[in-house]
Amino acid sequence: MRLEKCWFCSSTVYPGHGIMFVRNDAKVFRFCRSKCHKNFKMKRNPRKVKWTKSYRKLHGKELTQDATFEFERKRNRPERYDRNVVENTLKAMKKIEEVRVQREAKFWEKRMKGKKSKERKEAAVELGQAIHLVKAPLAMQAEPSLTLPKVPEKMKVKVSVSKQDESQPMQG
Amino acid sequence: MVLYNFKKITVVPSGKDFVDIVLSRTQRQTPTVVHKGYSISRIRQFYMRKVKFTQQTFHDKLSTILEEFPRLDEVHPFYGDLMNVLYDKDHYKLALGQLNTARNLIEKICKDYVRLLKYGDSLYRCKQLKKAALGRMCTVMKRVGPSLAYLEQVRQHMARLPSIDPNTRTILICGYPNVGKSSFINKITRADVEVQPYAFTTKSLFVGHTDYKYLRWQVIDTPGILDHPLEDRNTIEMLSITALAHLRAAVLFFIDLSGSCGYSIAQQAALFKSIKPLFANKPLIIVCNKTDLQPLETLAEDERQIIQELKKEASKCAAGQLINAVPDDDDGCLLTMSTMTEEGVIAVKNAACERLLQQRVEVKMKSKKISDCLNRIHVAMPRPRDTKERPPCIPQAVIEARAKSNANRERKLEKDLENEHGGAGVYSVNMHKHYLLAVEDWKEDVVPEIIDGHNIADFVDVDILQRLDELEREEDALAEAALANDDEDMSEEELSPEEMQALAVIRRKKKKLLEEHRLKKTTADSRPIVPRRHDKDREYTSSRMGRHLVSMGLDPSAALNRVRSRSASRRGRKRERSTIGEDDADAMDIDQPSKRLRARSRSRSQSRALTEAIPGEGFKDTAQKQKAVKLAQKASKKRNKNARRGEGDRVIVNLKPKHLFSGKRSIGKTDRR
């Protein structure tokens, strides 16, 4: 028993899950779920599909080169069982995993570093350009703050039909 | 050496088939096209060829038959007699002779007709001559039909004869019917002769083969013989007699001691005496069978006397042909056995073989040829040079290795373990026990394969701890470096709550606008264009406008008033107190209020038509229009009552427009041309 990687999205395929396709040239393709299988059948390139691991790695969204990745390697040579070695390996695997998680978090932080200021700038621009949608320019002139006018719960617009009103010009 | 195998004789067709075969071959293998216009010599030659060819074919086929059937004078006398018994020598010879005659006759016919054909003067005459020739040949063949049928039967029977070699070492079994001859041959050879508890189960000769002293021995089982004169014997018995007479074999004369075959010992002895001449010059053994039913020792006195006499006779027989045989050779001539219990069967076989072999060797030694052979044979007899022992030499190492391997052979096999622990299906093999691991205890470990979504096998490494140390060191270095430049500028301000709220509202609004626009776009084709005044969703209402303006921070009252003043509500609105009267009370006459003003002030009901005169309609004022409308209604009233056609009715001006009903009509429409 071993865990395989999905050919399309590179997720882990547990025993008894997914589907395996063996092409007539004996190349084996494993898929974690029907979604990946269907995408394969549609001849999509996993490097061009955004949700796959290969896309994310290719486009710098995830950690690609790291010392923690060097530990995990498929060995095609069978090793004779040694209890001590396996014990050490199990201990080491936990630590490696911790380190890897930390590094990935750090990578993410680094990647997201400039995002806040960028968003702030964009927000400022948007506020300046589109405030007229929520507050009329005349209202802005009267009260230049960004506080939005309040609408009463149950508003009844009274129409006063007075002679004076009719003759008077509309007020802002 | 002549091999007596009659299986390869070709099939003899019946008379009719014979003629068919020959004629069809003639038809196929000679030219078939001839014309009157050919020169006469060519025509003659064409037919002569046919006649000659037919004759040749007959000749060939008859010759093969004559050659392939064995001539009775040439085969071994055993076979000669056998055939005489089975097929009747005279009949056989006659049949072959008839075929020979037919062959000659056909030859003669051919010669005659070829001669006649030389004088044939036309195609027709030649053809008739040919026809006559072939007809006569066929008649000849038809006449020998019975002979051909007989020969075919003979051939089929001969193909099934056992292939007996008359010259080889042979053991012949004979005796009364039902004394156990076939059982005996079944015991000592692989022949599968039918054994049944009635007389004459075996109706022909059977052959089996057995081995003795690395030589191949032919064993012949014969049908039983009854004791009566030669002339009275039937065909089946005659087969046995023939075999006895002609084969130089060891003869086993079977006697049934128990008498369960239906014949007493005295009767069997009588038979022995009557066929005694046939045993001359042959090794003879009297075999007392069925000792399981009746042992020789417990036999009645007189019967035992008879057996003793027979034994004496047999030994006399043997003495007659054996030069150095002892006359009172007791045990050799009389043997007892039981085919049922297999007791003494092998002894009988061995004794018979031994005797025959001895006899054959003696005969050979007497012949002249033997001296030629003997001086070529030299048998070396090595003589010991001294008295010293010379045992085989086996090296010590080999002895030790052998002992070791013997010791190893006693180790427990998996099969033994299985048997100890409950046998197949219960015992399960421990696959781990032959593992080659550094420590014995590890064999039974459950090896982990998967942990936390990783294959452990992918990580297993001898120096993993060192590598992990390196990694941790690297990690520490990285952490330090990060601390060093952890002076990230958080100088930029966050958005204020008002700003955030405003932004949220703006984005919501933008999104809504976008959605509405998209919805409109998707349904643009299927939506009817409806005038804005049919405002089904009550979208364009003054109250909604007012609310919107308020939400935008504007005072809506002025806008609403303006709208109100411009709208013409369909519903009647209650008249408000007129301010005109109050204002101009002094200026205007109260009794003469303006008609127009009255008209305008009155609100129109829904049922009431719009009577107001619109400029361009042609009326002076509303009153004039109302009058005109009334007149028009009155004028049409009577016609409507009578259901006559009026102004408002549909009119078809031209029922048969010329352009639709003239011209040619072909494929196409009749309503548009």
* B502/A127 Cβ within 8 A: yes
- Tell me how far apart the alpha carbons of residues B556 and B542 are, in angstroms, rounded to a whole number: 10
Rounded to an integer, the average pLDDT of B193-214 is: 81
* pLDDT at position B569 over 60: no
Report the pLDDT value the prediction gives residue B325, as an integer from 0 to 100: 45
pLDDT band at B491 (very low <50, low <70, confident <90, very high): low
CA atoms within 13 A on the CB side of B281: 8
Element (H, E) at A129: helix A115-130
Rounded to an integer, the average pLDDT of B637-649 is: 84
Percentage with pLDDT > 90 across chain B: 20
Are A148 and A135 spatial neighbours (Cβ–Cβ below 8 Å)?
yes
**Measured between beta carbons, which residues in chain B are less than 8 angstroms from residue A3?**
450, 453-455
* B462/A123 Cβ within 8 A: no
Residue to mutate among A1, A12, A69, A88, with most B CBs inside 10 A, is A88
* B455/A3 Cβ within 8 A: yes
Element (H, E) at B595: helix B595-601
Rounded to an integer, the average pLDDT of B220-225 is: 84
**Measured between beta carbons, which residues in chain A are less than 8 angstroms from residue B498?**
145-148
Could you report the per-residue pLDDT of B1-60, keeping only the tens digit for each? 456 678 788 888 988 899 999 999 999 999 888 888 889 999 999 999 999 999 999 999
- Tell me how far apart the alpha carbons of residues B222 and B285 are, in angstroms, rounded to a whole number: 16
Tokens for B177? Answer: 């019917």
Report the pLDDT value the prediction gives residue A171, as an integer from 0 to 100: 44
User: Regarding predicted confidence, which is higher, B628 or B238?
Assistant: B628
ipTM of the complex as predicted? 0.79
* pLDDT at position B585 over 70: no
CA angle B549, B553, B557 (to 5 degrees): 50
Question: Which of A116, A139, A157 is opposite residue B556, by nearest beta carbon?
Answer: A157
Whose CA is closest to B506, among A57, A128, A141, A84?
A128
* pLDDT at position B571 over 70: no
> How near does any CA of chain A get to the CA of B520, in Å?
20
Question: Which of B459, B472, B553 is opposite residue A93, by nearest beta carbon?
Answer: B459
**Measured between beta carbons, which residues in chain B are less than 8 angstroms from residue A147?**
498
- pLDDT mean across residues, chain B: 82
Report the pLDDT value the prediction gives residue B668, as an integer from 0 to 100: 67
Could you report the per-residue pLDDT of A116-139, keeping only the tens digit for each? 889 989 999 999 899 999 889 988
**Measured between beta carbons, which residues in chain A are less than 8 angstroms from residue B470?**
67
* pLDDT at position B549 over 80: yes
> How near does any CA of chain A get to the CA of B666, in Å?
54
- Of the listed ranges B148-162, B323-337, B648-662, the one predicted with least confidence: B323-337
Q: Is B218 exposed, middle or buried (0-12, 13-18, 19+ CB in 10 A)?
A: buried
**Measured between beta carbons, which residues in chain A are less than 8 angstroms from residue B506?**
126-127, 130-131, 133-134
* A72/B459 Cβ within 8 A: yes
Whose CA is closest to A86, among B577, B400, B438, B520?
B438
User: Regarding predicted confidence, which is higher, B96 or B649?
Assistant: B96
User: Regarding predicted confidence, which is higher, A82 or B238?
Assistant: A82
Report the pLDDT value the prediction gives residue B255, as an integer from 0 to 100: 83
Report the pLDDT value the prediction gives residue A172, as an integer from 0 to 100: 40
* Domains present along chain B, CATH in parentheses: 6-157 (1.20.120.1190), 163-369 (3.40.50.300)
pLDDT band at B672 (very low <50, low <70, confident <90, very high): low
Could you report the per-residue pLDDT of B50-86, keeping only the tens digit for each? 999 999 999 999 999 888 888 888 888 888 888 888 8
Could you report the per-residue pLDDT of A79-91, keeping only the tens digit for each? 899 999 999 999 9
Are B187 and B345 spatial neighbours (Cβ–Cβ below 8 Å)?
yes
> How near does any CA of chain A get to the CA of B468, in Å?
7
**Measured between beta carbons, which residues in chain A are less than 8 angstroms from residue B465?**
88, 92
**Measured between beta carbons, which residues in chain B are less than 8 angstroms from residue A105?**
none
Q: Alpha carbon of B669 to those of B654, B657, B659, B661, B673: distances in Å?
A: 19, 15, 13, 11, 7
Report the pLDDT value the prediction gives residue B37, as an integer from 0 to 100: 85
Question: Which of B449, B496, B549 is opposite residue A2, by nearest beta carbon?
Answer: B449
CA angle A28, A33, A34 (to 5 degrees): 95
Report the pLDDT value the prediction gives residue B46, as an integer from 0 to 100: 92
- H helix and E strand count, chain B: 22, 8
* A75/B460 Cβ within 8 A: yes
Are B218 and B58 spatial neighbours (Cβ–Cβ below 8 Å)?
no
Report the pLDDT value the prediction gives residue B490, as an integer from 0 to 100: 60
pLDDT band at B382 (very low <50, low <70, confident <90, very high): confident
Element (H, E) at B206: strand B206-212
Report the pLDDT value the prediction gives residue B104, as an integer from 0 to 100: 93
Total beta-carbon pairs less than 8 A apart between chain A and chain B: 189
The pLDDT tens digits along chain A (172 residues) read 899 999 999 999 999 999 999 999 999 999 999 999 999 999 999 999 999 999 999 999 999 988 899 999 998 888 899 999 999 999 999 999 999 999 999 999 999 988 888 998 999 999 989 999 988 998 888 888 888 887 777 666 555 554 444 444 444 4
* B499/A81 Cβ within 8 A: no
CA atoms within 13 A on the CB side of B143: 14
Rounded to an integer, the average pLDDT of B422-439 is: 89
Rounded to an integer, the average pLDDT of B499-512 is: 93
Q: What is the pTM of this model?
A: 0.44
